[in-house]
Amino acid sequence: MKRKGSAKWMGSLKEGKGTVSLESGVLKDAQYSFKTRFENGKGTNPEELVGAAHAGCFSMQLSAFLTEEGFEPDSLETTSEITFEDGEITRSHLILTAKVPGIDEEKFDKLANKAKENCPLSKLLNAEITMEYDLK
Protein backbone atom coordinates (compact mmCIF):
# COMPACT_ATOMS: atom_id res chain seq x y z
CA MET A 1 0.00 0.00 0.00
CA LYS A 2 1.21 3.49 -0.83
CA ARG A 3 -0.37 6.81 0.12
CA LYS A 4 0.46 10.23 -1.27
CA GLY A 5 0.55 13.75 0.02
CA SER A 6 1.82 16.63 -2.08
CA ALA A 7 3.03 20.18 -1.62
CA LYS A 8 3.63 23.11 -3.93
CA TRP A 9 5.79 26.09 -2.90
CA MET A 10 6.18 29.39 -4.74
CA GLY A 11 8.62 32.15 -3.85
CA SER A 12 11.18 32.82 -1.15
CA LEU A 13 11.01 31.35 2.35
CA LYS A 14 9.58 34.39 4.16
CA GLU A 15 7.46 35.94 1.41
CA GLY A 16 6.50 32.79 -0.46
CA LYS A 17 3.49 30.60 -0.03
CA GLY A 18 2.44 27.08 -0.71
CA THR A 19 -0.33 24.54 -0.66
CA VAL A 20 -0.59 20.97 0.53
CA SER A 21 -3.00 18.31 -0.69
CA LEU A 22 -3.81 14.69 0.06
CA GLU A 23 -4.39 12.01 -2.55
CA SER A 24 -7.79 11.26 -0.98
CA GLY A 25 -8.95 14.82 -1.65
CA VAL A 26 -9.92 15.36 2.00
CA LEU A 27 -7.33 18.13 2.12
CA LYS A 28 -6.90 20.00 -1.15
CA ASP A 29 -4.73 23.05 -1.71
CA ALA A 30 -4.59 23.95 1.99
CA GLN A 31 -2.48 27.08 2.43
CA TYR A 32 0.82 27.10 4.29
CA SER A 33 3.51 29.76 4.56
CA PHE A 34 6.30 31.08 6.75
CA LYS A 35 3.65 32.81 8.88
CA THR A 36 1.59 29.63 9.35
CA ARG A 37 4.69 27.70 10.33
CA PHE A 38 6.64 30.13 12.48
CA GLU A 39 4.06 32.73 13.49
CA ASN A 40 0.27 32.70 13.83
CA GLY A 41 -0.82 33.00 10.22
CA LYS A 42 -4.00 31.43 8.87
CA GLY A 43 -3.39 28.03 7.30
CA THR A 44 -1.64 24.81 8.18
CA ASN A 45 1.98 23.70 8.50
CA PRO A 46 3.96 20.45 8.25
CA GLU A 47 4.24 20.02 12.03
CA GLU A 48 0.48 20.34 12.52
CA LEU A 49 -0.10 17.71 9.84
CA VAL A 50 2.45 15.38 11.47
CA GLY A 51 0.69 15.89 14.81
CA ALA A 52 -2.70 14.95 13.36
CA ALA A 53 -1.19 11.92 11.63
CA HIS A 54 0.57 10.75 14.80
CA ALA A 55 -2.59 11.19 16.92
CA GLY A 56 -4.64 9.20 14.41
CA CYS A 57 -2.06 6.45 14.03
CA PHE A 58 -1.62 6.05 17.79
CA SER A 59 -5.39 5.95 18.40
CA MET A 60 -5.89 3.22 15.81
CA GLN A 61 -2.95 1.19 17.15
CA LEU A 62 -4.26 1.45 20.71
CA SER A 63 -7.73 0.41 19.54
CA ALA A 64 -6.21 -2.67 17.88
CA PHE A 65 -4.29 -3.66 21.03
CA LEU A 66 -7.37 -3.10 23.22
CA THR A 67 -9.54 -5.19 20.89
CA GLU A 68 -6.96 -8.02 20.87
CA GLU A 69 -7.27 -8.09 24.67
CA GLY A 70 -11.09 -8.15 24.60
CA PHE A 71 -11.77 -4.47 25.32
CA GLU A 72 -13.80 -2.27 22.98
CA PRO A 73 -13.11 1.42 23.50
CA ASP A 74 -16.07 3.79 23.57
CA SER A 75 -13.72 6.60 22.54
CA LEU A 76 -10.04 7.44 22.22
CA GLU A 77 -9.44 11.17 21.79
CA THR A 78 -5.80 11.96 21.12
CA THR A 79 -3.90 15.17 20.49
CA SER A 80 -0.25 15.16 19.46
CA GLU A 81 1.64 18.27 20.50
CA ILE A 82 4.63 18.59 18.17
CA THR A 83 7.70 20.51 19.34
CA PHE A 84 9.73 22.08 16.52
CA GLU A 85 13.09 23.48 17.68
CA ASP A 86 16.20 24.56 15.83
CA GLY A 87 14.93 23.23 12.51
CA GLU A 88 13.82 19.79 13.66
CA ILE A 89 10.92 18.01 15.29
CA THR A 90 12.25 17.10 18.72
CA ARG A 91 9.15 15.78 20.47
CA SER A 92 5.64 14.47 20.01
CA HIS A 93 3.61 14.56 23.20
CA LEU A 94 0.46 12.44 23.00
CA ILE A 95 -2.45 13.63 25.14
CA LEU A 96 -5.20 11.00 25.38
CA THR A 97 -8.66 10.90 26.89
CA ALA A 98 -9.96 7.33 26.81
CA LYS A 99 -13.26 5.70 27.65
CA VAL A 100 -12.73 1.95 27.79
CA PRO A 101 -15.33 -0.05 29.74
CA GLY A 102 -14.04 -2.79 32.03
CA ILE A 103 -10.30 -2.13 31.81
CA ASP A 104 -8.12 -1.46 34.84
CA GLU A 105 -5.46 1.24 34.97
CA GLU A 106 -2.51 -1.17 34.94
CA LYS A 107 -3.70 -3.03 31.82
CA PHE A 108 -4.57 0.21 30.06
CA ASP A 109 -1.18 1.73 30.85
CA LYS A 110 0.59 -1.31 29.42
CA LEU A 111 -1.42 -1.24 26.19
CA ALA A 112 -1.20 2.55 25.77
CA ASN A 113 2.59 2.45 26.11
CA LYS A 114 2.78 -0.49 23.71
CA ALA A 115 0.76 1.55 21.17
CA LYS A 116 2.97 4.61 21.74
CA GLU A 117 6.05 2.55 20.89
CA ASN A 118 4.58 0.53 18.02
CA CYS A 119 2.34 2.72 15.91
CA PRO A 120 3.98 3.19 12.50
CA LEU A 121 4.36 6.97 12.90
CA SER A 122 6.04 6.57 16.28
CA LYS A 123 8.54 4.31 14.56
CA LEU A 124 9.03 6.87 11.79
CA LEU A 125 9.63 9.90 13.98
CA ASN A 126 13.18 10.56 15.10
CA ALA A 127 11.97 12.38 18.19
CA GLU A 128 11.16 11.87 21.85
CA ILE A 129 7.64 10.52 22.21
CA THR A 130 5.87 11.11 25.50
CA MET A 131 2.32 10.50 26.62
CA GLU A 132 -0.22 11.41 29.24
CA TYR A 133 -3.72 10.04 29.52
CA ASP A 134 -6.98 10.31 31.36
CA LEU A 135 -8.80 6.98 31.56
CA LYS A 136 -12.51 7.47 32.23
Q: In angstroms, rounded to a whole number, what is the distance separating the alpha carbons of residues 80 and 94?
A: 5
Domains of the chain, each with CATH number or no CATH: 5-38 (no CATH), 46-135 (3.30.300.20)
Cβ-proximal residues to 72 (8 Å cutoff; 6+ apart), any chain: 66, 100, 101
Instruction: Report the C-alpha gap between 20 and 7 in whole angstroms.
Output: 4
Cβ-in-10-Å burial (0-12, 13-18, 19+) of 54 comes to buried
Q: What is the pLDDT of residue 41?
A: 87
pLDDT at 112: 98
pLDDT along the chain (136 residues), means of 10: 95 96 95 93 93 98 98 98 94 98 97 98 96 97
Give the pTM. 0.93
**Rounded CA gap, 73 and 62, in Å?**
9
Other beta carbons less than 10 A from residue 5's beta carbon:
13
Nearest residue to 6 (alpha-carbon basis) of 47, 86, 25, 40: 25
